[in-house]
Structure 1
Amino acid sequence: MLESIAIRSVATYDTTGIEINGLKKINFIYGTNGCGKTTLSKLIFNPTDSVYAKCHLGWRGHLPLNALVYNKDFRDRNFGKGKIDGVFTLGQATKEQIEAIGKMQSELEEIKENGLKKKSTLEGQEATKLQEDNDFKEAIWHDIYKENEDDFKETFKGYMRKDAFRDKILQEFTSNEDALLTIEELRERAKTIFGEVPNILPSISAIEFKGILAIESDKIWGKKIIGKADVQISALIQKLNLNDWVNEGRNYIDEDKVCPFCQQQTITANFKQQLENYFDESFTQDTARAKELSEEYHRLSENLQYILEQIELQQKRNQDSKLNVEPFAAFLKTLISQFVANKELLGNKIKEPSRSVNLTSTKEQLESIQKIIGESNSEIKKHNDIVNDFTNQKAKLIKAVWKYLVESHRGTIAAFVSKQDGLGKGIDALQKQVKALQDKYKEQQKKIRDANKNVTSVQPSVDEINRILRSYGFLNFEIVPSKTESNQYQIHREDGSIAESTLSEGEATFITFLYYLQLAKGSLNEESITTERILVVDDPISSLDSNVLFVVSSLIKEIIKSIKSNVGSVKQIILLTHNVYFHKEVSFVDGRTPRNGDTNYWILRKKNNTSSVQPFGQENPIQSSYELLWKELSNSTKNSGITIQNTMRRIIENYFKILGKYADDDLIKSFDNQQEQEICRSLVCWINDGSHGLPDDLYVEQQDAVIDRYFEVFKEIFIRMGHEEHYKMMHKEQKENEVAVA
């Protein structure tokens, strides 16, 4: 069954177009000429036409039915060529054969309904699965992607769409077996690998300080360097501890034999010799060695200090430095102060060789500095190894990041996978069931087609058309078999001449519609007589006189009854018309029931050359002016007294005076006695006065009491004139309509 129609960007339908939703078994669409009814019928007939590319037909269960469309195109396709195709029906079938086919049709319908239910359940499961997938996709996008985008954006390249990100998460959930790293480790590695492509870092030169430590530990510094003991003057020098003083003064003895100490010419050759003997070669070597070591210490310490200060300066400037600068700087500061102290001690030793000095060992500071440099070089090596193997390391880090993301949300992912797996299995099972029912449906259809082949005939449809033509006075033409071609028929006059070209517009329209109704019951193909179908009828009463209008409406109402009873192959009808009277007549089915759950109404309108549609649901919007008068009267509590007077006058005039040919006196004389006649006369005067003039103020003030009284008289007129049932029918109908609308 057709459930909805969307039509746009064609004829009088603009780009927004219209949507007709909630189509029922019976559908009435009223619209004036040119408002787009025929375009609508053409869309249903051939929705694949390119002009309807932006239109859509919504079929129940996505199962299109054969749409048999009656419009001007139908007449052009089937008439005007001098012959018409025969319509196959179950004409030759026995009662048992028809019942057997009917049973098979019922079984087919049952299979179809079961299939639609299964398909609906399947679509529900698929919708649930899709919703679960969308919810999961949104959740991980927010909780995983957005939360980690800043830290690991490089990981997400290629997966920055929700669908792709979901697929990647599920893939990593099932396949990633990498070791799990902490978020801190991942972020640290990401700084190197996910930032700009890093450069090779030069390693920090190792420091050499063995020479410094050797000098600091040399025994010369603790040795008292003094002269030879067996020289005559040694006793006095050593007793007075004048070694360094005499040795220093010795440098000032000149050739004048003047003593540098007392400034007298007391320096003899013998004294000089004793000094030379006292400060012998051993003394000279020791002092020379001490001086040499001191100078070497100064050179080595200054060079090392410079090197270390340069390392500190460079690493502070280098943002990629791997050196632990703070402890390095602290150790260096201590080392420099130790160098300063040792140099001062060495200076003292050189000046006073006889003094014993104890140098501070810089070993601890130097080894600490060396350790920091070593650790830094290890980190530099790791960094450079990563740079040298950057692509591989980047891939490993990306895998590690995905592993962390999956594990940190494993519960959510596992629950989703489990639920999707369950829904997937249920969907697979339902798909198999739907497929089995589809196969069973096709098999049943084949059985029905085979059964139809044996019992079908064209003649019954021809006989039925001719019978209807005769029944309604069309005696001067009929349908007869073609003399030259099988299953072809022609329209002949009484004299045997072909009548098609001489038919009046009304005759051609009527016989075309009769042919359409036979086609609705049967088929041009023997195999598809009982195939389910929908009827679309576009203005079938154009050019017909009033008598035939009622014939057509009567025939359509029979089809409507069959559809409501679910009898036959026609499952739905959509009737489009511009004729108010035909609309009212054809929509009047099964008494005056104002609403029916199988029926819906629409009005199609055109304004500024653009079509629009207004739905009315089960409420028939087309009523005669006479019915509208009764409806207005039923709303008397909402209307003024003047409006009620005019309404009563028009009802009485239409029903009694125009249709019944009664005068005012006839209405008045229907009452028995003089008093009642006067009351009726007052009503007639009241309604005429209220509808043709303006009441004075006093009259207006008495309206409530007057209206109630005259309502009683109005009803009594129908009773006295013998038309009480008409009053009850019209008054009851309008009241029921009010309740239904409320």
Structure 2
Amino acid sequence: MIEHISIKEVATCDEYGIQITGLKKVNFIYGANGSGKTTITKYLYNPNDAIFQKCALGWLDGMPIKALVYNKDFKDRNFGKGNIDGVFTLGQATKEQTEAIEKKSKQRQEIKEEGRKQKKSLEYLNNKLLELENDFKEEAWTEIYKKYETDYKEAFRGVMQKELFKNKLLDEFETNTSVLLSHDELREKANTVFGEAPAPMPPIKSIDFVRVVEIGEDSIWKKKLVGKADVEIGSLIQRLNLNDWVNEGREHLQGDATCPFCQQKTITENFRKQLEGYFDETFLKDTRLIKSYSEELSVCTENVLNVLQQIESAERANKNTKLDIETFSAYLKTLSSQFVSNKELSHSKVKEPSRSIELVSVNEQLVNIRELILIANSEIGKHNAIVANYTVERAELIKSIWKCIVEESRLRIQHFLKHQTGQQKGIAALTKRIDDRRLKFKALDDEIRMLNKNVTSIQPSVDEINKLLSSYGFQNFRIVPCKTMKNQYQVQREDGTLAESTLSEGEVTFITFLYFLQLAKGSTSEESITEERILVIDDPICSLDSNILFVVSSLLKEIIKKIKRCEGNIKQLILLTHNVYFHKEVSFIDGRTKECNETAFWILRKINNVSSIQSFEMKNPIQNSYELLWMELKNKNHNSGLTIQNTMRRIIENYFKILGKYGDDELIQKFTNHQEQEICRSMISWINDGSHSIPDDLFIERQSATVDKYFEVFKNIFVHTKHVEHYNMMMGAQSLN
């Protein structure tokens, strides 16, 4: 059953729309043409249409039911294509078959009703469980978290939100096996462990100085490199100690006989051979080695120095350094000086190979520096071990804190878990029963569909429609089977010709409505004739004669009675009409009952091209046409000002002219002075003009003030004709505002 309808941003409904709430089993919506009735029926027929994307339907227990809609579109769909789909009913079923279907349908309905109750019970249990969990969550937050928030803030990191804290508390209750400590012990440990967390430190890079020491300690540096003494020129060079001088000059010898020293042509071939003999291969090999060592030593010392300077810079900037930085810097300064000295000595050896030199030993400084680095790295290792242990200590402390909290709140947690488990078991059991009932419902539904398929027939629906047509004077046409198509029917004249194109609008309306009523009882499908459905009917008496109005209302009242008694598969009716007499007739219960708690009433209006709806709950706002005029007048704030003139004119005509035999002039003369008479004449002219024409723009702008002024004149007509009691009676009834 539909409980709520919201129509927004379509046709004459604005962004606020119309809200039809509190729908009952039987619902009457009265509204003038163009007020939005058809829009409502179109939406209920196809709520998934894109134009209704802002609209919404609210279903009882969230369970949708198929809506069968009668409106102009229904006529076009079913009587605008030549043939009519046959409607299957149980008319040909035997008594036993019908009783079997009715019995199973009743069982299915009982299962559905029980399922609806169980669904409500399940919703109730779920809400109670949610309420229980929310209460515990709030209690855990206020009684536990807030109490220890300051002392154990570090332990609560990551769960400083109500739901997370609750879940953590329950998880620790199930899994925490830590040793139980007192709050004093926990606070004391927290002061130490929850301080600033130490960070792990990388070890200091080690240095490789083996090659530097090896080169510096090589014997080549002490060796005096001179030529061979047994060469003729050799004794002279060695006696004069010109070995290095001659060796360097030798490098400048040209290809000619010019001496690089005196620039004379003194270099003979024999002299060249003596020089080559003096500086033999051994000499050349040793000098090349000296040069190579000098270059390699320069590179190695530079690399070692760069590494050590980087270490010094980094560790001096590290406030937590484990290196004896001052001693390290002193050693490094000495080492740097030694490297400079050795660089100069090695260069001198390259220039003067005959010199015997001894490089400064850097081994001691390098060993001292390496020892400082080893000591520092040892301390760093100890520090990192402490850091690793700190993480473990911190984790153990946090577990101990939660253990203490859990034990302190054990009774509270156990109480919650006991009730939570009970609720969850109840929900699980009820869910299983609902699932089992759903399977039983489907099995029964399949049985009923099969039984329906075996005993349904189209002919009873056709016979029923033809019987009603004949009973109410439609003798010149009837519904007959289509000769070319199975389960299709046509409207045929007595002479055998097809009548659809020659039917009057009233005849089409009546036969369409009778077809709709048969469809409400059956279906165009054999399997679905007993499906639950909602009837939505829009102005079924449009274009019908007045005597047919009572026929239609009588047929509908029978359906309404069954709906109220919960008989049959029609569960709800929404009827919309603009006809006062039909509304009054179809909504009439009996002479004694004025209201029914299964019936609801609305009036749909369109003001300034925007639809609005007013609920009257169980009270029927439509009594008779004259009372309706007064209701419209009392409801002037809900209606367009353009209708007020026509309403006043019709009231005066009905009460004074038709019943009281008063003319306009006689009413005017009832006023005592000329000024009041002119005002009355003006008002009568105004209402007569406004009920037969469209006011111009200027008149519309002054409409509000004009209505208020003439409303007072309207009342004074009753006062001066001594009928004010009638005015008070009609206006003093319960307001519809």
Per the normalisation by structure 1, the TM-score is 0.58
Give the equivalent residue in structure 2 for 1:671: none
**Relative to structure 1, is the Cα distance of residues 606 and 127 closer, same or farther in structure 2, using a 3 angstrom cutoff?**
farther
Residue 112 of structure 2 corresponds to 112
Specify the code of the residue in structure 2 equivalent to 1:602.
Answer: W
Is residue 62 of structure 2 the alignment partner of residue 59 of structure 1?
A: no
Offset, 1:620: 0.7
**Post-superposition offset of 1:406:** 2.4
**Identity among equivalent pairs (%):** 58
Distance 1:187 1:555 in 2: 84
Contact 1:119-1:434 at 8 Å conserved across structures:
yes
Aligned-CA RMSD value: 4.1
**Residue 599 of structure 1 aligns with which residue?**
599
In the other structure, the counterpart of 1:412 is 412
How big is the shift at 1:582?
2.0
Q: Does 1:542 align with 2:542?
A: yes
- Of the structure 1 ranges 516-525 and 44-53, higher mean CA displacement relative to structure 2 is found in 44-53
Give the residue type in structure 2 aligned to 1:562: K
Matching residue of 2:507? 507
Q: Is the 8 A contact 1:177 1:403 kept in 2?
A: yes
Change (3 A) 1:422 1:525: same
| SS of the residue 1:511 aligns to | helix
CA distance in structure 1 between the aligned counterparts of 2:468 and 2:502, rounded to whole angstroms: 20
Quick one: distance in 1 between partners of 2:406 and 2:34?
Answer: 63
Cα offset, 1:460, TM superposition:
1.2
**3-state SS in 2 of match to 1:620:** coil
1:165 is matched by which residue type in structure 2? F
1:481 aligns with 2:481: yes
3-state secondary structure, aligned to 2:560: helix
CA distance in 1, matches of 2:64, 2:186: 58
Q: Deviations over 1:663-692 (max 9, x none)?
A: xxxxxxxxxxxxxxxxxxxxxxxxxxx985
Distance 2:659 2:94 in 1: 52
Taking a change above 3 Å as real, the CA distance of residues 414 and 10 of structure 1, as seen in their structure-2 partners, is: farther
Q: Distance in 1 between matches of 2:661 and 2:470?
A: 38
**Mapped contact 1:629–1:651 kept (Cα < 8 A):** no
Q: Does 1:436 align with 2:465?
A: no
Residue 422 of structure 1 and its aligned partner are, at CA, apart by 0.7
In the alignment, the residues of structure 2 paired with residue 407 and residue 574 of structure 1 have an alpha-carbon distance, to the nearest angstrom, of 62
The match for 1:180 is: 180
Q: Is the 8 A contact 1:480 1:490 kept in 2?
A: yes
Q: Distance in 1 between matches of 2:443 and 2:611?
A: 44
Q: Secondary structure at the match of 2:490?
A: strand
Structure 1 unmatched ranges of 5 or more: 202-317, 319-379, 633-645, 659-689, 711-730
Q: For the structure 1 residues 649 and 54, does the alpha-carbon distance in structure 2 shift closer, same or farther, using more than 3 Å as the test?
A: closer
1:109-147 Cα distance to aligned partner (Å, 9 max, x none): 222222222222222112111111222222223333344
Give me the whole-angstrom Cα distance separating, in 1, the residues matched to 2:716 and 2:15: 48
In the alignment, structure 1 residue 23 sits paired with structure 2 residue 34: no
Q: Which residue of 2 is the match for residue 33 of structure 1?
A: 33
Cα 1:3–1:490 shift into 2, 3 Å:
same
Residue 478 of structure 2 aligns to a residue in which SS? Answer: strand
Deviations 1:162-187 (A, max 9, x none): 33332222222211122233334444
Shift, 1:619, TM fit:
0.5
1:626/1:651 contact within 8 Å kept = no
**Residue 140 of structure 2: aligned partner:** 140
1:103 maps to a residue whose letter is K
Matched residue type, 1:402: W
The answer (yes or no) to whether the contact 1:25–1:564 under 8 Å persists in 2 is: yes
Aligned to 2:612: 612
What TM-score does the superposition give when structure 2 sets the normalisation length?
0.59
Q: Residue 134 of structure 2: SS of its match in structure 1?
A: helix
**Could you give the per-residue CA deviations for residues 692-742 of structure 1, whole angstroms, max 9, x where no partner exists?**
57669xx99xx9xxx9xx9xxxxxxxxxxxxxxxxxxxx9xx99x98xx9x
Cα pair 2:108 2:441 within 8 Å, conserved: yes
- Check whether the contact 1:152–1:194 (CA below 8 A) recurs between aligned residues: no
SS in 1 for 2:554: helix
2:84 corresponding residue in structure 1: 84
One-letter amino acid matched to 1:85: D
Contact 1:509 1:540 in 2 (8 A): yes
* SS of match in other structure, 1:75: helix
Cα distance in 2 for partners of 1:19, 1:106 equals 34
Report which stretch shifted further, 419-428 or 386-395: 386-395
In the alignment, what sits opposite 2:456? 456
* Alignment match, 2:470: 470
> What letter corresponds to residue 62 of structure 1 in structure 2?
G
Q: Which is higher, the Rg of structure 1 or of structure 2? A: 1
- 1:552 matched to 2:552: yes
Q: CA deviation at 1:97?
A: 2.8
Distance 2:529 2:121 in 1: 31
Please tell me whether the aligned partners of residues 626 and 651 of structure 2 are also in contact (alpha carbons under 8 angstroms).
no
Alignment correspondent of 1:624:
624
Q: In the alignment, is the contact (CA less than 8 A) between 1:88 and 1:458 conserved in 2? A: yes
Alignment check: 8 A CA contact 1:492 1:500 kept: yes
SS in 1 for 2:68: strand
Unaligned runs of 5+ in 2: 202-318, 320-379, 633-649, 663-714
2:573 corresponding residue in structure 1: 573
The Cα shift of 1:537 comes to 1.2
- Note the alpha carbon deviations across 1:480-534, whole angstroms, 9 max, x for none: 2111110011223344333333433333222222111110011111122122211
| CA deviation map 1:432-460 (0-9, x unaligned) | 22222222222222232222222211011
Q: Distance in 1 between matches of 2:717 and 2:19?
A: 46
Q: CA deviation at 1:629?
A: 9.7
Question: Kindly tell me: are residues 141 and 563 of structure 1, through their superposed partners in 2, closer, same or farther at Cα, counting changes over 3 Å?
Answer: same
Q: Could you list the per-position Cα deviations for residues 523-549 of structure 1 after superposition, in whole angstroms to 9, with x for gaps in the alignment?
A: 111122122211111222333343333
Aligned letter for 1:131? E
Distance in 2 (CA, whole Å) between partners of 1:83 and 1:694 is: 63
Q: Is the 8 A contact 1:12 1:36 kept in 2?
A: yes
2:38/2:71 contact within 8 Å kept: yes
- In the TM superposition, 1:654-669 aligns within 5 A as none
Partner of 1:224: none
Residue of structure 1 in register with 2:586 after alignment = 586
Do residues 528 (structure 1) and 528 (structure 2) align?
yes
Q: Deviations over 1:196-237 (max 9, x none)?
A: 533589xxxxxxxxxxxxxxxxxxxxxxxxxxxxxxxxxxxx
Q: Is this contact kept in 1: 2:622–2:628, CA < 8 A?
A: no
Shift of 1:153: 4.1
Regions of 4+ moved over 6 Å: 380-384, 628-632, 646-658
Separation (CA, whole Å) in 1 of partners of 2:69 and 2:88: 18
1:192–1:198 CA contact under 8 A, matched in 2: no
2:143 aligns to what SS in structure 1? helix
Q: Tell me whether 1:47 sits opposite 2:47 in the alignment.
A: yes
- Structure 2 equivalent of residue 129 of structure 1: 129
The verdict on how the C-alpha distance between 1:151 and 1:608 changes in structure 2, with shifts beyond 3 A counting, is farther
SS of 1:527 mapped into structure 2: helix
- 1:15 and 1:7 map into 2 onto residues whose CA distance is 9
Map 1:195-234; keep pairs closer than 5 Å.
196-198=196-198
Shift, 1:192, TM fit: 5.1
SS in 2 for 1:389: helix
Distance verdict in 2 for CA 1:153–1:495, change over 3 Å: farther
Distance 1:176 1:79, change over 3 A: farther
Amino acid at match of 2:452: N
